[in-house]
């Protein structure tokens, strides 16, 4: 069988782009907490000593944006200027405008509502054009590709070692990368691991590597997956003292591959953070993942990619495509037809089904939006499995979701 390599990366919550994502989503949460119908498209730019917040908002809520920004930065761990950023002393600039009335026109009253409204789900149109992808695989319990699962585990463990003070001297910024060797469709093992962590200047390279091996890699990567000729790179430049926004500008939406499937499938290009659920960039990605995961959990396919596409102001998707990658256990054409009939992909229906007006988005802004084990998001539930199996008189092995929260 053909041998090949695939690599995915993750970053910690202290990475400047992820700090920006968390700030944008924290502002969205603050608005939704008071007004569930808030609409927002909030962008954050971070540089040495400054946070710039800009975007469009329509809401009845009031949020002290500067306070939300500072609290988020402090919670992440940037509390001292020596770390390169300080949430209490950095400058915060805001430029928030009301949503364009031209965009609001199509969102408030969809094309269908103006021409052929059938029910209330026709009222809301898509907030923008675009294509969105969802994916699920039986390769891992999380139903995610193995490279991104392991990369997230490493990044999460790196942050945990810092926050619990298991390792003294680690600082908030950090990255991980995992390369998996495959033979055919089967993962053979981990070929390469890269871990970079911001650190206190007094920590030696050897101390950092030993700590990473013991407290980051060991609890994250099963020994059975470690190949004999595995390569390990820890802080490969030799020094990572200056980090965060002081070393690299942070911007909302620059880690969309980290947020999704690690590059395993295509991505439409739209980022998630700072956007309310009327934006298909967010809600349609979540719905596509939900449907793909339930199909795989029901045993109808071992892998499935789903693509949706929308036109601004139009409720119904303009295209719908599934690819089961030759792993289907049922007729693909019948499966596609069943999914279109069983699930409603209009924005209002997605928001209602997945309960997307709740202030939960800051949780999504680090360590991926999919396959999380620390919190069960609504789009990660497998509550449509039985309905799908009944549709095909199908009862194969089912991978079940716990349906409850559990800590990593």
Mean pLDDT in the chain? 91
Using the predicted structure, report yes or no on whether residue 184 has a pLDDT greater than 90: yes
Tell me how far CA of residue 265 lies from CA of 165, 179, 262, in angstroms.
37, 16, 8
Q: Are 146 and 152 in contact (CB under 8 A)?
A: no
Work out the percent of the chain whose per-residue pLDDT is above 70.
90
User: Looking at the chain, how many residues does it have?
Assistant: 408
Relative to beta strand 79-80, strand 50-58 is unpaired
143: left (phi over 0), alpha (psi -120 to 50) or beta: left
Using the predicted structure, report yes or no on whether residue 185 has a pLDDT greater than 60: yes
What gap in Å lies between CA 73 and CA 364, rounded to an integer?
A: 16
Contact partners, residue 155, CB within 8 Å, separation at least 6? 10, 11, 12, 174, 175, 176, 367
Compute, in degrees rounded to 10, the torsion defined by CA atoms 138, 139, 143, 145.
Answer: -140
The model's pLDDT over 208-255, given as tens digits with 9 standing for 90+, comes to 999 999 999 999 999 999 999 999 999 999 999 999 999 999 999 999
* Pick from 107-121, 170-184, 259-273, 344-358: least confident: 107-121
β partners of residue 269:
none
What gap in Å lies between CA 259 and CA 274, rounded to an integer?
A: 13
Using the predicted structure, report yes or no on whether residue 110 has a pLDDT greater than 90: no
The model's pLDDT over 115-151, given as tens digits with 9 standing for 90+, comes to 666 666 666 778 788 999 999 999 999 999 999 999 9
pTM: 0.92
The model's pLDDT over 281-317, given as tens digits with 9 standing for 90+, comes to 999 999 999 999 999 999 999 999 999 999 988 889 9
What gap in Å lies between CA 263 and CA 380, rounded to an integer?
A: 19
The model's pLDDT over 2-52, given as tens digits with 9 standing for 90+, comes to 999 999 999 999 999 999 999 999 999 999 999 999 999 999 999 999 999
pLDDT at 402: 39
The angle, 0 to 180 degrees and rounded to 10, between the axes of the packed helices 16-34 and 65-76 is 130
Using the predicted structure, report yes or no on whether residue 395 has a pLDDT greater than 70: no
What gap in Å lies between CA 182 and CA 192, rounded to an integer?
A: 13
Tokens describing residue 379: 């789009």
């Amino acid at each position: 069988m053909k041998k090949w390599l695939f690599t995915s990366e993750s970053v910690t919550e202290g990475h400047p782009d992820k700090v920006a994502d968390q700030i944008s989503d924290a502002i969205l949460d603050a608005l939704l907490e008071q007004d569930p119908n808030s609409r927002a498209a909030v962008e954050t730019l971070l540089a040495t000593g400054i946070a710039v917040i800009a975007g469009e908002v329509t809401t009845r809520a009031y949020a002290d944006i500067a306070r939300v920004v500072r609290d988020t930065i402090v919670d992440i761990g940037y509390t001292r200027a020596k770390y390169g950023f300080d949430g209490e002393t950095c400058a915060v600039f805001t430029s928030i405008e009301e949503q364009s009335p031209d965009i609001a026109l199509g969102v408030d009253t969809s094309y269908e509502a103006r021409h052929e409204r059938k029910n209330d789900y026709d009222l809301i149109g898509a907030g923008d054009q675009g294509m969105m992808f969802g994916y699920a695989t039986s390769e891992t319990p999380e139903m995610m590709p193995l490279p991104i699962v392991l990369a997230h585990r490493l990044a999460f463990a790196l942050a945990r070692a810092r926050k619990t003070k298991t390792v003294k001297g680690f600082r908030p910024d950090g990255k991980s990368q995992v390369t998996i060797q495959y033979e055919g469709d089967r993962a053979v093992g981990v070929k390469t691991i890269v871990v970079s962590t911001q650190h206190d200047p007094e920590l030696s390279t050897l101390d950092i590597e030993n700590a990473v091996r013991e407290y980051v890699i060991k609890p994250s990567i099963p020994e059975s997956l470690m190949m004999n000729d595995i390569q390990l790179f820890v802080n490969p430049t030799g020094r990572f003292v200056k980090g965060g926004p002081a070393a690299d500008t942070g911007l909302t939406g620059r880690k969309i591959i980290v947020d999704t499937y690690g590059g395993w499938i295509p991505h439409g290009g739209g980022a998630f953070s700072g956007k309310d659920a009327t934006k298909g960039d967010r809600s349609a990605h979540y719905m596509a993942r939900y449907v793909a995961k339930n199909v795989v959990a029901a045993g109808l396919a071992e892998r499935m990619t789903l693509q949706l596409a929308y036109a601004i102001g139009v409720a119904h998707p303009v295209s719908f495509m599934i690819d089961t990658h030759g792993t289907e256990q049922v007729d693909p054409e019948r499966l596609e037809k069943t999914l279109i009939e069983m699930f409603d992909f209009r924005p209002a229906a997605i928001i209602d089904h997945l309960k997307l007006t709740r202030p939960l988005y800051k949780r999504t802004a680090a360590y991926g939006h999919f396959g999380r084990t620390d919190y069960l998001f609504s789009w990660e539930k497998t509550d449509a499995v039985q309905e799908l199996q009944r549709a095909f008189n199908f009862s194969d092995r089912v991978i079940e979701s716990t349906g409850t929260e559990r800590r990593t």
